Structure 1
Amino acid sequence: MRCFDHDGATVQDFDFSRMPVALDLQKGLAMTFAKRTAPGGAVTRMEGFRYSFRAVRLFADYLSGLAAPPTTMAELVDDHIDGFRDHRRATTTSAHREVSELKVVLRNSNELTAMMVAKVCQITLRKSNASKKASYSRDEFTQIARVARSDLRAAATRIRKNRELLRQYRAGKMAGRDRRLELLEFVEEHTDVPRYTRPAHKGTYAPKTWVRDSGFGSVAEVVGWLHLTCTELAAAAILMGIMTGQNRSVILNLTTAHHRTDGHVDGRKSIAILDTYKPRRGARAYMNLALAEIPDWITLPSTSSSPTARDELHTPFGLYALLLDLTSHSRQITDTDRLLVGYHANGTTRGIRALASNEPFRMWSARHKIQPDASAANARGYLSVTLDLIRLTYVSLHQKPVAHTETTLVKDYLSRDRGNLGQYRQVVAAALAEEVDKARSRSVMETLSRDEIAQSDACALAAKHGIEPTVVKRMLAGELDTVMNSCIDNDNSPFGAPGQPCRASFMKCLECPCARALPHHLPVQALVFERLQARKADMTPLAWAQRFARAHTQLADLLSRHDAAAVAQARADATPQQHAMVDRFINREMDIR
């Protein structure tokens, strides 16, 4: 079966005839795979095609080892799925994802029994500790960035130097015969070294003797005179992830097509806008990525006040501009607009191609052997650097979502990160304590009880609370209501200029001397308190502490003036209009922008 990437740039054949199962089962699995990968479906990238095929192939391998393997799709039963799950859990940590993908593929079959259809539609539960990941520490993150920048600076120096040598050689400015310059020109024209025309071992064509014995290095090193190597491409991808926090697929599929919002004007901060595509986002699959000439301060050396020209690799735009230059000849050879293109000595084909597999990242990690913190020592003895952990570390350190929602950030990233948990808890606790102290240091708004309002003497009530009688009448009539209270002096707010209408958020009313809480405000106050409490599940703990902890504490103190039964009854009596108003308020739709 032949599959094309969504942009038509990549094509691959997937052979189901080699799966060790009966012919009818091969055909059934092939049909489900065809529907899963059909145009208009959720899977549109070659990486997704390969993963779906891998899940099906692993399932077929498992079935072939059974005492009585099924021969058709109709013979598949629940135990086959459960057995495959247990088999993969014993050998890999990605069993949950493999089984989930297999179920999604099998859902496309119309030959399954009703029991099997129900099985493949069930959600695959994770083991409680199987999905925990440890992000890099801040020191490890900085060290990874430093090594990646060092690799790219060395590559830039090498390639630019050799380009200049080649230019001078072709211009006739280099006297005498120089085999190195001859080899450099050959590499520029053929992206390879001179080889014998007769095949040697296993059908390969060996480099000529003078190339092999010249001391110029391996073929990859020689071709690397003018091209980035696969490990240098990995370094570039790692550094792009460190400075943007983008997903692995987005980084690997970056292209050279971009728009310069600065108009190439000197003195202005350079910004390149790129189009990115991530099919898993659904309707938001196409998004823009802004690469700005703004330093990544987390990994910037503490001894430097600002990056110099040598340190252009401290900005996403600087990295992008450098890669545009260093990969220009590689892109010309392969006729592609992919950004991360360079020489690969291994893999399916030797030569210039785009970065796609995980092997260059494993090679880069093994080459540099970056030492982990003492508490993070692993079996290898060095850090295994992956784009997934780079992204997890980025969102953990920056505490902000990147091309996903804040809910996804909390549930799918921070809740599974065990790398900086202790340090993060200390930061959250400090922020929470600071906001609570601020709330307690400010007076909570004054309240008027039902008994006070019930008295007939409005003048006495006004005198008791220091309010004009006319204002009291308007307040009791509801004419001065905001969201959670009444405002007795909108033109003299402590949060604005005297004589000017208050423009502060209604949340500020909780600590404003102009605010008065009446009994009919209790339902809204209870709803706001409930909504703030619920927001904890959809925000990072630090963001919640900084944004809502003070108001939450002030509301708790305000509600504590009523007994629990009264608060519960008020919440139950809230009208649909009050619920809608509170939703708008919490979503900041009432703020003046």
Structure 2
Amino acid sequence: MSRRGRRASLPPGDHTRPEPLDLGGLVVRHVDRSGRVRAYDFATLPVAEPMQRSLAVLFAARCHPNRWGSHRSSRLAFQLLEKFTVFLSGLERTPRDVEELTTAQVKQWRLSQAGTAGGHNAITRVGSLLRQDARLASGPVADELAVRTQRPKSKTQSYSEDEFDRIKRAARRTFRAALLRINDNAAHLERWRAGAFAPGSHDFILGEALDSLARTGDIPRRVSAKGARNPIWRFHRVLGNTSPAATWQRLFLSRLEAAALGVLLMVEFGWNLSVIHQAKVPKASPDPGEDGHPTYRIPVVKYRRGGGRYFETRNVTDDGARSPGRLITDALQATRFARAVVEDLAPGTDLLIVWRWAQGGHPITTSDHHPPVGLFRFGVVESAGRDWAQAEGLDGSPFRRGRRTVNALVRREPGQNSQATHDRDYVLVDQRVQQEAADIIAAGAEDAAARARQAVLVAELRADPDPDDRETATVDCHDYEHSPFTGPGKGCRASFLTCLGCTNARIHPGHHPRLAHLHRALTHLRTAQSPPVWEADWGEAHARLEDLKRRLGEPVWAQALARVTDTDRDLIDCLLTGVLDA
């Protein structure tokens, strides 16, 4: 079925996919997933013809949409092969075909590429391509081609909070101004179509100009003697001048305004530039609910995930000015006239970001992009982001660093990546994340150490009692006058339960029965009180007794329980009921 619901026509019965390798064996034609064709001439490579033909065969084997779906992939691979063959041509003995490659030559090439991201990419891609040849499937050269190289650490770092806020403000300012301009002119157009203006008046003629702009994408123009295409005089008079701001920008986004919209989509959803560039028009839910807030179903395409996992959808609701769905509503509003013209010229074109090309400029289009429709272009490219940033006084295109900032520090979760990729490529290598994590880790370690000091047994274990120690309800005290809880010279006023966490405390086998009985009593008490109350009153003492039980061992602990006396029971009862606190 087509996008408009009509049954698509079937190809002829004898239809077959065209072979990528031509009959001469040196030209490869890559048909991408959109049906566009790009040709690569291997006769231009600076190596012998047998090597050219072998590389062409290997290259053609990957030129199908299920392997290389875009021309960007094939173009990059061909560029890497060009550099590889230039390296081979500079050797003292240039191999005539792939079977003449030696281990030393491959190793020399690998070493010449090591240490950079581009070099890692070349080693990985060219090596993978060469190993497809049956002559290099095994042997020393195959082993050398299969040697793994470490990926260089990414040098891209997230923005600081101030830098990122500045980018967001600039993008909102650019896009908001464009949206208000388009909505104001749209309101004038609606009033003109409703017959609100007197024929021949200034507002009526402006309405005529806007109507032509909305239907065709341009204003009726006349060609001057010098070849200039200016609006006809009656429109020129009401528009004021022939600048884009006075003419077509009344209803359409410019290239830089579309880039600002792309920045906002990156900030809001964490999308990378390829996803933004080919974003489809979201569909509003047929049942927005009683509150009238539309919910958009956003289709997201991520081809790098691999076959069967290209597509996903996200639902966002426009329930206020700060909601993610409001940005989608605004994007649809800002592009509605452009999308309407495109739909008339090329039905079924459903890309979200549509902008008008300024006549006289240089359209930026390659075979990787959706072809232009009339005066309109689609998506956002890296150069547009760079030009927008320069116009706003910012440094470089914000998309790569901005997406790292959003996913690693704002959303703190994967965007269109797996959790492993998110951690490896976004979180662990980012300096700002590392700095923030250092403070969190240090605070956590200090808290854990403090809790450990509070919850483990501090009292000293001894085999025999010391006659100079003073006996308490739980242990013996070695220095009653100098307590760590109440200060020196004041005598200890702390609870007997805290003796287990005191450096002055001494525990010998005579204490084991009453402590084992105290441990059992606190365990039973746990079932009679709510967890927060029990933890606040008895949790720390119970944890120290657990530590004591672990140190003494189960056999000693069982013997201690068997030796509990009535005196021990009475003493512990008094301790737990607060009698000994008086």
Calculate the TM-score normalised by the size of structure 1: 0.62
SS of the residue corresponding to residue 455 of structure 2 reads coil
CA distance in 1, matches of 2:439, 2:286: 37
Residue in 2 that maps onto 1:11: 36
Residue 516 of structure 1 corresponds to which residue in structure 2?
546
Match of 2:77 in 1: 52
What amino acid does structure 2 have at the position aligned with 1:164? A
Matched with 1:412 is 425
1:207 corresponds, among 229, 251, 272, to 229
The amino acid of 1:412's aligned partner reads D
**What amino acid maps onto 2:190 in structure 1?**
R
Matched, 1:118 2:143: yes
Structure-2 residue corresponding to 1:263: 288
CA distance 1:434–1:249, shift in 2 (3 Å): farther
Q: Does 1:105 align with 2:102?
A: no
State the alpha-carbon separation in 2 of the partners of residues 511 and 58 from structure 1. 71
Match of 1:363 in 2: 387
Secondary structure of the residue aligned to 1:36 is coil
Q: Does 1:436 align with 2:448?
A: yes
Change (3 A) 1:289 1:444: farther
Q: Partner amino acid for 2:185?
A: N
**In the alignment, structure 1 residue 315 sits paired with structure 2 residue 323:** yes
**Structure 2 contact 455–544 (Cα < 8 Å) conserved:** no
- Post-superposition shift, 1:364? 0.8
The equivalent position to 2:257 in structure 1, one of 223, 232, 237, is 232
For 1:288 and 1:515, the matched residues in 2 are separated by 54
| Cα pair distance change 1:419/1:337, threshold 3 Å | same
Deviations 1:303-326 (A, max 9, x none): xxxxxx6xx3x4321111211222
Q: Are the aligned partners of 1:293 and 1:317 in contact in 2 as well (CA < 8 Å)?
A: yes
- 1:465 corresponds to which of 516, 521, 524: 516
Report the alpha carbon displacement of residue 133 of structure 1 after superposing the two structures with TM.
2.1
Alpha carbons 2:223, 2:229 under 8 Å: kept: no
Residue in structure 2 matching 1:347, options 364, 369, 379: 364
Q: Report the counterpart of residue 200 of structure 2 in structure 1.
A: 176
CA contact under 8 A between 2:262 and 2:380: conserved in structure 1?
no
Matched residue SS, 2:134? coil
Deviation at 1:406, TM superposition (A): 4.5
Q: Taking structure 1 as reference, are residues 186 and 126 closer, same or farther at Cα in structure 2, changes over 3 Å only?
A: same
Listed as ranges, the gaps of 5+ residues in structure 2 are 1-19, 21-28, 366-370, 464-508, 554-582
| CA distance, structure 1, for counterparts of residue 122 and residue 195 of structure 2 | 59
1:397 equivalenced with 2:422 (yes/no) = no
Counterpart of 1:133 in structure 2: which amino acid?
T
Q: CA RMSD in A?
A: 4.7
TM superposition shift of 1:238? 1.3
Tell me the distance in 1 between the aligned counterparts of 2:191 and 2:526. 77
Q: Give the partner amino acid of 1:149.
A: R
- Provide the rounded CA distance (Å) in 1 between the counterparts of 2:441 and 2:50: 60
Using the TM superposition, give the Cα deviation of residue 360 of structure 1 relative to its aligned residue in structure 2, in angstroms.
Answer: 0.8
What is residue 535 of structure 1 aligned with on the other side? none
Distance 1:291 1:64, change over 3 A: farther
**Is the 2:273–2:380 Cα contact (8 Å) retained in structure 1?**
no
For structure 1, list consecutive stretches of 5 or more residues without a partner in the other structure: 295-308, 371-382, 452-457, 473-485, 503-508, 523-593
Shift of 1:260: 4.2
Tell me the equivalent position of 2:120.
Answer: 96
For residue 29 of structure 1, the aligned residue among 37, 40, 55 is 55
Using the TM superposition, give the Cα deviation of residue 339 of structure 1 relative to its aligned residue in structure 2, in angstroms. 1.7
Matches of 2:162 and 2:443, distance apart in 1: 23
Q: Which amino acid in structure 1 is aligned with residue 400 of structure 2?
A: D
Q: TM-score by structure 2 length?
A: 0.63
CA contact (8 A) 2:154 2:429 kept: yes
SS of residue in 2 equivalent to 1:14: strand
Are 1:260 and 1:271, in contact at CA under 8 Å, matched by a contact in 2? yes
Alignment length, in residue pairs? Answer: 453
Q: Report the alpha carbon displacement of residue 290 of structure 1 after superposing the two structures with TM.
A: 4.3
Pair 1:46–1:154, CA change in 2 (3 A): farther
- Contact 1:85–1:99 at 8 Å: present in 2 too? yes
Whether 1:326 and 2:326 are equivalent positions in the alignment is: no
Sort the Cα spacing of 1:357 and 1:62 in 2 relative to 1 into closer, same or farther, 3 A.
farther
CA distance in 1, matches of 2:327, 2:353: 12
Q: For structure 1, which segment, 170-179 or 404-413, has the greater mean C-alpha deviation from structure 2 after superposition?
A: 170-179
